[in-house]
Amino acid sequence: MKYCSLCGAPVEQRVPDGDNLPRHVCGQCGTIHYTNPKVVVGCIPRWEDRILLCRRAIEPRLGLWTLPAGFLENEETTIEGAMRETLEEASARVEVKDLYTLFNLPHVNQIYVMFLGDLLDLDYGPGPESLEVDLYREEEIPWDRIAFPVVEQTLRLFYEDRRRGSFGVHTGDIRRLPGEGRVYDIRMLKGR
Amino acid sequence: MKYCSLCGAPVEQRVPDGDNLPRHVCGQCGTIHYTNPKVVVGCIPRWEDRILLCRRAIEPRLGLWTLPAGFLENEETTIEGAMRETLEEASARVEVKDLYTLFNLPHVNQIYVMFLGDLLDLDYGPGPESLEVDLYREEEIPWDRIAFPVVEQTLRLFYEDRRRGSFGVHTGDIRRLPGEGRVYDIRMLKGR
């Protein structure tokens, strides 16, 4: 951020009075421009013993598989967002039932909120951001081609819970470790 | 938003190619400036049969009582944010244990994420954003002077669960209804 979005003057980075973190502050009109984490919402769309996965048509992780999920929009609830993303990415209608996971991804300033969903019919297909969309049984999941650690962890919890016969709500932190490789630290708070 | 925060040129509101919502787009450098909901994090700090409430020293709702909570910062997890807010607003150290509620407030583009917490000691007091901080038993809660409907609803769920002897995770939507008065529509998804 270089310029004030309200008056167009240059901004400076400094700790405002009464604050304890540096912010972008306009040198002319004094507006403090806060930046905060974004919420990603999505769901696990279920049909009998299968779930719907989407193969990404866009970067990052183009060509890899993911659950339908995307940024929550203003004036939208998390459930509305999860349903919208499922419609946009998989052209699929779901009933979104229960909160399932809340993951913190502090290295990318994101919070992932995932729900359990039930497909309403089998009329689905790739939206503009997907190359293909298909239903998978547990033994068919392409574990080595899942786009994001948060999606892999969500799926692993899902199958553990399904075997136990009870779905909790899971909270955890996923951090990318410093270095070259894609190595992540995953810590679960607790499942209930 | 009137000016591009990257190049300082005027922005226009239009639906970018491949999108379906109007965004602020820079007429010069083409940057799309998204705005998204913010996450508010906090906790219910418990000590035996009492909980810690803060009386607000700032607008909105100056002088009314609330739970320690505030905007999640970048590079922070929701639990770290809940602990930080409790320290800032009540000078209190808590162990934050379990996710308790996730509320959508789409009319103000906010998601409230509240945890159950346990005070580590009785060394607390008002931070700069609080007039006073005190421990309350259920029968002492100032129900008619609670600052926000989301805080009142969180407290009501807490005491219901405590009577049941089991704390679930609760999700719901709170919307302010159109009109003059402070009238809110509260819908719970489900408690588990």
CB contact under 8 A, B190 and A98: yes
Residues belonging to chain A = 192
Q: How many other CB atoms are there within 10 angstroms of residue A100's CB atom?
A: 22
Distance from CA of B107 to the nearest CA of A (A): 6
Q: How far apart, in whole angstroms, are the C-alpha atoms of residue B40 and residue A124?
A: 35
Q: Does A28 touch chain B (CB under 8 A)?
A: no
Q: Does B28 touch chain A (CB under 8 A)?
A: no
Q: Which domains does chain B have, with CATH numbers?
A: 1-35 (2.20.70.10), 38-191 (3.90.79.10)
Estimate to the nearest angstrom the gap between the alpha carbon of B59 and the chain centroid.
15
What gap in Å lies between CA A67 and CA B31, rounded to an integer? 28
pLDDT range class, residue A29, cuts 50, 70, 90: very high
**pTM, entire model:** 0.95
Contact A100, A115 (CB under 8 A): yes
Q: Is B146 helix (H, G, I), strand (E, B) or coil?
A: strand
Measured distance CA(A190)–CA(B8) in Å, rounded: 46
Query: Quick one: pLDDT at residue B93?
Result: 98
The per-residue pLDDT for range A143-163, each reduced to its tens digit, is 999 999 999 999 999 999 999
- pLDDT tens-digit series, residues B38-75: 999 999 999 999 999 999 999 999 999 999 999 999 99
The DSSP bridge partners found for residue A95 are A118
Q: Which residues pair with A118 in a beta bridge?
A: A46, A95
- Cβ <8 Å between A3 and B4: yes
**What was the pLDDT predicted at A169?**
95
End-to-end Cα spacing for chain A: 41
Please judge whether A99 and B189 are an interchain contact, meaning their C-beta atoms are less than 8 angstroms apart: yes
d(CA A106, CA B169) in angstroms, rounded, equals 22
Which residue type sits at B47? W
The whole-number pLDDT of residue A68 equals 98
Segment 76-135 of chain B within 8 Å of chain A by CB: 76-80, 97-99, 102, 104, 106-107, 109, 111, 113, 128
* Residue of B4, B33, B73 with shortest CB distance to A36: B73
pLDDT per position as a tens digit, A102-151: 999 999 999 999 999 999 999 999 999 999 999 999 999 999 999 999 99
Provide the pLDDT confidence category of residue A190 given band limits of 50, 70 and 90.
Answer: low
- Flag whether residue A189 sits within 8 Å of chain B, measured between CB atoms: yes
* Contact: B3, A1; criterion CB under 8 Å: no
Residue in chain B lying closest to A173 (CA): B77
